[in-house]
Amino acid sequence: MASEKHFGSQTRVALVGSERKPMVAAPVAVAVSPAAAEIDNTPITVSVIVRRKSPIDKEKLGTAAGRMTRDEFEAQHGAAPDSVALVEAFAKEFGLTSEVAAESGRRTIFLTGTREQMERAFNVALADKVIDGTSYRVREGAIYLPAQLSGHIEAVLGLDNRPQARPHFRVRAQKAGAPAPQAAAANDGSFTPVQVGQLYGFPATATGAGETIGIIELGGGYKEADLTTYFGSLGQKVPAVTAVLVDGGKNAPTNANSADGEVMLDIEVSAAVAPGAKIVVYFTPNTDQGFTDAISQAVHDTTNSPGVVSISWGGPESSWTAQSMTALDSACQAAAALGVTITVAAGDDGSTDGVTDGANHTDFPASSPHVLGCGGTKLVAANGSITSEVVWNETAANEGAGGGGVSNVFPLPSWQSGSAVPAPTVAGGGRGVPDVAGDADPVSGYQVRVDGKDMVIGGTSAVAPLWAGLIALANTHNGGTAGFINPALYAAGVNACRDITEGNNGGFTAGPGWDACTGQGSPVGAGVIAAIASVTAKRN
C-alpha cells in the first residue's frame, strides 16, 4: 500500500464523535497568554483505539454463548491488523513513535510526539487554559484524520487533558460533640461496611478468598498504615492491596479532604465485606484517556485477573465526547465477554447530575448498558435489622442525592424492556439508570479511616464497592466468575433485590418495581449469589 506513505497529502475527514464544544461557563477556563507560558516541549502520548476484527454480539452478553476465553476474544475481537498497520505507517510519516498494547483485545496504539507534531498529525489546535487554578492542554472542534484512516480509528484520546470525571462520595458533616465514628456504631446512624453487609444478608461465613477486586481511581491514594489500623479495628486480616499505575497515574495520598477519601472508601468497603479477596487499585490521571485506559488495562490484566471492577467516578453524559463514551463502553463490552463484572456509582447530585440547565441528566459510565449502575438509599436499622430504607435525598441539607434517570445516549437494553423505564428526551436514548442500589446517604454512611482520621462517608461511591464485594463473595461461592449479571438480576427481581418504594431524587420518584432512583433495589445477599450462579462460568 504505497499510499500509506502519503497521509499528509490526503483529504482530511472528521473523526466521528470527536467534536469538543468551546469551553464556557463553569469551570471557568482562562487562556494562558503566550507571554506567560513558554512553548511546552513535553512529549504528548495519545491512545489511538482502532476497530475490532469483528463486532461483539451484544445480545449474547450475559449468557453462556457470550462468554469467551482471552484467546478466543483476541482472535475474534482483537485489533484489526490492517488498522494497526495503517496507524503505525501514519505515525511514522508524522514523526511519532508508536507502541501497540501487548494485549490485542485492548486495540490500543500509543503514539508519542511533540505538541507541534500532534497538531499536524491530527489537524487540531492545542491551547493552554487554566481551569480552577490549574493549567490544562485543551482542544476545541473535531479531530481530523487522513481519509485513508476513516473507519479504522474509533477514538483518539489524550490530546486534551482537562479533568473528565469527579468522585461520587460525600463526607458526613460532623456534629459538635459527636463521638468519633469508630466509637459511634449504631447510636449515630452510621455503620461499618461489615454491618451493612449483615443488614443486606451477605452470608456470615462467606469470603472472597481466591478473588481479586479491581478498583479504578482517577486521583488520591492510600496508606498502608491506615489499612492496618482500620482492618484491625474490624477484627479482620489486612487485605493484600496492590497499586497498578496507568498512563503515569500515581498512588499519591495527601490529606483527608482530597480524593484519598474516595480511594480509602473503595478499598475499605469492598475488602471488609469480602474478606480474603485481593484488591488491585488502578491509578490513572483524571482524563478521558486515563479513565478508558485504566478500565481497558484492568479488564485485560492477566497478571492480577480481577473478576469484578469497581468504579466510583463519573460525569454527566453531556460532559463527554461521543468518541470517549464509545471507547469506554467498548472496554466494558470486552469485560462482559471476558467474564468481568463492572459496578459503577450512579452519581450524588440527584436527577440533574449537577448540571444547571434545568434538565435531568444521567451519569456516565453508570449509563453504559454493560455495567451495573449503583444508586443510593438512606438506611435505618435497629437490633440488626432494617427498619427503613428510602431513596437517598439530602439536598435540603446540601448532602446530595442518588443519581438516576434515562440515558440520552444508550438505547433501552433488552433485559430492561419490562421495567417501565420512562421515555428518553432524545431519540436514541432509553437505558434506565441505576440498576441496583444500596446505602449511600452520608447520614447513614460508612465508618472509614482516611489519612489517620476516622470519618463517616456516603455517596454512591460506597455502593459500587459494596456490590463489587458481594459479587466477589458470589464468585467464590459459585466457583467461577459471573461476568455480566444484569439480565440475571432483572430476571430474579425481588428474589435478589429489596424493592425501595419511597422517596425521590428530584426528577424521579420511587415506586414498586424498577425506578430511576434505586433501580431494582438494594441487595438481598444470598438471593444475589443464587441468582447469578446460573451465569457463572466455572473455573477449570
DSSP 443-478: GG-EEEEETTEEEEEESHHHHHHHHHHHHHHHHHHH
Residue 409, phi-psi category: left (phi > 0), alpha (psi -120 to 50), beta (remainder): alpha
Instruction: Copy the grid coordinates of residue 511.
Output: 415506586
Q: Is 108 exposed, middle or buried (0-12, 13-18, 19+ CB in 10 A)?
A: buried
Residue ranges, CATH 3.40.50.200, the chain: 166-482+497-523
CB 342 within 8 A of CB 309: yes
Q: Kindly report the number of other CB atoms within 10 A of residue 326's CB atom.
A: 17
More confident: 311 or 63 = 311
What is the average per-residue pLDDT within 176-191? 60
262 carries an active-site annotation: yes
pLDDT tens per residue across span 161-171: 999 999 999 99
pLDDT tens per residue across span 367-376: 999 999 999 9
Mean pLDDT of the chain: 93
Three-point CA angle 499, 504, 507, nearest 5°? 125
The answer regarding whether domain 166-482+497-523 maps to CATH 3.40.50.200 reads yes
19 carries an active-site annotation: no
- DSSP 8-state class, residue 109: E
Q: β-strands 108-113, 385-391: how paired?
A: unpaired
pLDDT of residue 176: 44
d(C-alpha 97, C-alpha 91), whole Å: 6
pTM confidence score: 0.94
Q: How far is CA 534 from CA 195, 481, 531, in A?
A: 28, 11, 7
Q: pLDDT-derived band of residue 37, with 50, 70 and 90 as boundaries?
A: very low
Long-range contacts of 391-398 (CB under 8 A, 24+ apart): 391/500, 391/502, 391/503, 391/504, 391/505, 391/510, 391/517, 391/518, 392/440, 392/441, 392/458, 392/503, 392/505, 393/350, 393/503, 393/504, 393/505, 393/506, 394/441, 394/442, 394/443, 395/350, 395/506, 397/173
Question: Could you say which of 310, 367, 444, 461 is catalytic?
Answer: 461
pLDDT tens per residue across span 221-259: 999 999 999 999 999 999 999 999 999 999 999 999 899
Q: Kindly report the number of other CB atoms within 10 A of residue 148's CB atom.
A: 18
pLDDT above 90 (res 379): yes
What is the average per-residue pLDDT within 139-168? 96
Torsion of CA 172, 374, 536, 470, to 10 degrees: 10
More confident: 178 or 150 = 150
d(C-alpha 255, C-alpha 251), whole Å: 13
From the CA atom positions of the chain, what is the Rg in Å?
23
First and final C-alpha spacing in the chain: 45
pLDDT of residue 336: 97
pLDDT of residue 131: 85
pLDDT of residue 24: 61
Question: Could you say which of 88, 188, 217, 266 is catalytic?
Answer: 266
Question: Could you say which of 262, 301, 363, 389 is catalytic?
Answer: 262
* The residue to which cell 449504631 is assigned: 186
CB 407 within 8 A of CB 362: yes
Q: Kindly report the number of other CB atoms within 10 A of residue 234's CB atom.
A: 17
367 carries an active-site annotation: no
Q: pLDDT-derived band of residue 290, with 50, 70 and 90 as boundaries?
A: very high
Handedness of CA 69, 70, 72, 76 (dihedral sign): positive
Q: β-strands 341-345, 308-311: how paired?
A: parallel
pLDDT of residue 64: 87
pLDDT above 90 (res 23): no
pLDDT above 70 (res 515): yes
Q: What is the 3-state secondary structure (H, E, C) of 348-383?
A: CEHHHCCCCCCCCCCEECCCCCCCEEEEEEEEEEEC
